[in-house]
Structure 1
Amino acid sequence: MISASRFRLAATPFLFILLGVIYASWAARIPAIRDGLLLSPAQLGIVLLGGGFGAVASFPLAAGLVAKFGARRAAWYAGLGLIVILPCTALAPNMSLLMMTVVGLGAGSGCFDVAINAIGTENEKAAGRSTMSLLHAWFCVGTLSGSLLGSLMAGMGITPFVHFLGASLALLIPLFIAYRALPPDHVASEKPHELFAIAHGPVIALGIIGFCGAVAEGSIADWSGVFMKDHLHVHDGVAPLAFAGFACLMLLARLVCDPLKDRFGARRVVSIGALLAAIGIFIAVLAVNVPVTLIGFALAGAGLASVFPFMFSAAGRHGSTALAAVATFSYSGGLIGPPAVGFLTQGWGLQVGIAFIGVLAIGISISASRAKWLE
């Protein structure tokens, strides 16, 4: 019989897995939902803008939930919201309603993300050692699993609604078990603090890294499947494998990021990794064939793996104001990135839109090499 302590140890990693599964499930079925509603690239970009807007707008709500109820209950409430809203995205009969549901999905994801990272921070304090990178690796486990599941569902001809409903029902009971397994919240009254902070001085370099990293990750998640389908004419079951490869190599790379940081330093690891990501993106853009394109997106995942763990770690060492500023930059990148690729695609084609991500990766590399606070 599994002890309560084992459930408690597994609870936080599962919450990161759950977020990854929902995130990747949505991303995997974007091509099918787009085709079902006959959306143009610009229209799809506007819909994706709704998800980013929901995430950014949820920042004050997430902070309020954690402050009032504690991270554990905030994660429970936000998780329930995600489980309910995911199937609703597949029921939208037109672009306007789809955008409304995607805004809700983004808001739920933002609140859940803040809550589980707060839980992860408390776990680090209790353990007396760094564990956040490993938790983000569990998120990659979720995104990889969600991508592969999406590929399987699409390949079997299962509709997005049935896929999303099944995933939500499967996640509901484990979410409740994880919630019950976590220790009770101890909510302490805190002084009012800034929900949004303006970056200045050395924080700007970290903010640029976070912004570009969020643009790159979000755009690859939302557009890689569309790129595979439109340029390589693959089946709906094959299109999600691009993001699956991206998530898989990101997961494997995050397992070795900490030793690499200890040996070579964070600046060098992030800078070289971002160059690797740029190379992978430019390989994918060529669309030579399916295997080569999948390898390109996978290399991008490996190259971007160290960006967020090291960036947030560096910002956190310089206080909550720096961390809030960098987080605001990152959420803004997630808001702007996918629709920006959509508008580039509308005007110059999807290859130009994907190539733009490679240019951003080069920007990450340059910023990382000059960001003294990253060490």
Structure 2
Amino acid sequence: AAAPAAGPGATSAAGPGGRSGRARKLVVVFGLIALCDAYGEGALADWGALHLQQDLGARAGVAAAGYSVFALTMTIGRLSGTALLERLGQTKTLVLGGATAGVGMLLGSLAPTVWAALAGFAITGIGLANIFPVAIGRAGELAGPSGVAAASTFGYGGMLIGPPAIGFLADWFSLPSALTTVAALAGIAALIAYATRNMARAAVR
């Protein structure tokens, strides 16, 4: 005998309900990627200059330039973001950005000289530049305005969490050690983007 037809309220895992559930999960994933990025921005804005002055003996003017170097390279990176996306695609942009920021921030936090640390801040800015906008854009592709709102909430939460988290860790360990968490979260963002690449492709089909 033939199997009974599914009722009108039934939805298969591959149907709209399954797709929407997968999209919601991926919005959270991209929100976490945005959080990792914004954590670094907030941490450097509040603690970068102090690290240069307190740990590396930079003069006040040079220390103040630390965040400016980071912000400048981030701006340059975002201005070239469209060309980068066209060349690499979204997943590779996220993975490469996270890896670059991770390497840059390890240099910025652990380098023994001011100028090496400034170079690390500059590399970090280039790496982080396109992670946040790409992650938010992907969330919008998956779930429209609600996806953008949800992922942005995660992202800006990271900017709020970053500075106090660095302060807490600096009290327990040291400021250079605390700043390595920026590198760790950038690396995590790259790993998340790579691990979910196939899910993300399938969700937008």
Q: TM-score, normalised by structure 1?
A: 0.45
1:349 to 166, 174, 178: 174
Please say if residues 205 and 370 of structure 1, whose CA atoms lie closer than 8 Å, have aligned partners that are also in contact.
Answer: no
**One-letter identity of the residue aligned with 1:249:** T
**One-letter identity of the residue aligned with 1:329:** F
1:338 to 136, 139, 163: 163
Larger CA deviation: 308-317 vs 346-355: 308-317
2:134 is matched with which residue? 310
2:40 is matched with which residue? 216
CA–CA separation in structure 2 for the residues paired with 1:228 and 1:359? 20
- After superposition, residues 200-211 of structure 1 pair within 5 angstroms as 200-211=24-35
- After superposition, residues 166-205 of structure 1 pair within 5 angstroms as 200-205=24-29
1:289 to 113, 121, 127: 113
Please say if residues 285 and 351 of structure 1, whose CA atoms lie closer than 8 Å, have aligned partners that are also in contact.
Answer: yes
Cα deviation, residue 255, structure 1: 2.1
Tell me, what secondary structure is at the counterpart of 1:233? coil
Cα deviation, residue 306, structure 1: 0.6
2:94 is matched with which residue? 270
Cα deviation, residue 277, structure 1: 0.6
Unpaired runs of at least 5, structure 1: 1-198
2:188 is matched with which residue? 363
1:298 is matched with which residue? 122
* 1:67-86: CA deviation from partner (whole Å, max 9, x where unpaired): xxxxxxxxxxxxxxxxxxxx
Aligned-pair identity (%): 34
**One-letter identity of the residue aligned with 1:346:** D
Please say if residues 267 and 371 of structure 1, whose CA atoms lie closer than 8 Å, have aligned partners that are also in contact.
Answer: no
Please say if residues 275 and 303 of structure 1, whose CA atoms lie closer than 8 Å, have aligned partners that are also in contact.
Answer: yes
**One-letter identity of the residue aligned with 2:160:** L
CA–CA separation in structure 1 for the residues paired with 2:140 and 2:68? 30
Tell me, what secondary structure is at the counterpart of 1:234? coil
Supply the RMSD in Å over aligned alpha carbons: 1.7
Unpaired runs of at least 5, structure 2: 1-22
CA–CA separation in structure 1 for the residues paired with 2:106 and 2:125? 13
Please say if residues 95 and 189 of structure 2, whose CA atoms lie closer than 8 Å, have aligned partners that are also in contact.
Answer: yes
1:228 is matched with which residue? 52
**One-letter identity of the residue aligned with 1:286:** L
Cα deviation, residue 320, structure 1: 1.7
CA–CA separation in structure 2 for the residues paired with 1:284 and 1:248? 15
Cα deviation, residue 200, structure 1: 4.0
Tell me, what secondary structure is at the counterpart of 2:60? coil
Cα deviation, residue 231, structure 1: 0.7
CA–CA separation in structure 2 for the residues paired with 1:257 and 1:283? 24
CA–CA separation in structure 1 for the residues paired with 2:131 and 2:56? 30
1:100 is matched with which residue? none
Higher relative contact order (CA closer than 8 Å, sequence separation 6+): 2
Please say if residues 277 and 301 of structure 1, whose CA atoms lie closer than 8 Å, have aligned partners that are also in contact.
Answer: yes
Cα deviation, residue 234, structure 1: 1.4
Please say if residues 273 and 302 of structure 1, whose CA atoms lie closer than 8 Å, have aligned partners that are also in contact.
Answer: yes
CA–CA separation in structure 2 for the residues paired with 1:288 and 1:250? 23
